[in-house]
Amino acid sequence: MNSKNDNKKLRESFEQAASIYQQARPDYPGELYDDLIHATNLNPGDRLLEAGCATGKATLPLAKRGFKITCIELGAELAAVARQNLVGMDVDIINGSFEDWQSEAENGFDLVYAATAWKWIDPEVRYMKAWQVLRPGGYLAFWNADHVFPDGGDPFFREIQTVYYEIGEGKSVADNDWPRPGELHEQRDEIEKSGLFEMVHIRHFDWERIYHVEEYIKLLETFSGHILMEEWKRDKLFNEIRIRLDSRPEKSVRRHWGAVLQVARRKD
């Protein structure tokens, strides 16, 4: 998949997972937020703009730290769930695309950030848009939650690849599809190439979660590739996952997550 249409389809697919997204997706480590606040010199009351908040996974922890947040969320269902999750917080959720949204206050925000959403925003537009809405000296930050594979990690993920291959959805054997903790891609070059930001901070985080069988299936049901999979493929895959995990004494899988926090300062 590489065309804009395919990307649009993937980007819009998360709507179908709105009801389970908050519960199924992992929380980011508390340390990541502390690090973000330290790197950007943010203070409670500062104004933040979030691109693609989904159900508020990264919004809630920052709102609880006292920031005033505006969120732009493409999916109407996701935005509705986010509003429920953020009741009582100083958060304004706008349903629309980050690319098209017009800020009433140019240069009004102290930080623009995106959690597992920056990659879905048009690369031709995203840096300029962030630059336009930030105050002089404001910051841009983004991170993803990605699957990492430590030495000695759970062998399940390599073993289940045989099923993905059988249904025509296998990973390539390239090493970069199996990154270890600390090996996730950094976007320093892309950020600096925009000419609008200078990199000030990069830090890798990794953490682990145990998923019981149905929790793991729920997680997969929030991934665009699995959401858009043909039904017979998904049924075969999920059935095989259930059989394999149910045969384990603990009936669970250990999944390692990684995130690269990237923070850049607006050039004036």
pLDDT of residue 204: 98
Q: How far apart are CA 134 and CA 112, in angstroms?
A: 7
Are the C-beta atoms of residues 54 and 82 closer than 8 Å to each other? yes
At a CB cut-off of 8 Å and minimum separation 6, what does 190 contact?
123
For 129, half-sphere exposure in the C-beta direction (CA atoms, 13 angstrom radius) is 21
Each domain of the chain, given as residue ranges in start order, spans 4-151+180-210+255-266
Q: How far is CA 202 from the centre of its chain?
A: 16
pLDDT of residue 114: 98
Which residues of the chain, if any, have pLDDT below 50?
A: 1-2, 11, 175
For 157-172, give the DSSP string. HHHTHHHHHHTT-PPP
Are the C-beta atoms of residues 7 and 97 closer than 8 Å to each other? no
- Residue 138 belongs to what H/E stretch? strand 134-143
CA angle 176, 179, 180 (to 5 degrees): 150
| Helix (DSSP H) and strand (DSSP E) numbers for the chain | 12, 8
pLDDT of residue 141: 98
Are the C-beta atoms of residues 134 and 70 closer than 8 Å to each other? no
pTM above 0.75, yes or no: yes
Condensed to tens digits (0 to 9), the pLDDT of residues 120-148 reads 899 889 999 999 999 999 999 999 999 99
Fold classification of 4-151+180-210+255-266 is: Rossmann fold (3.40.50)
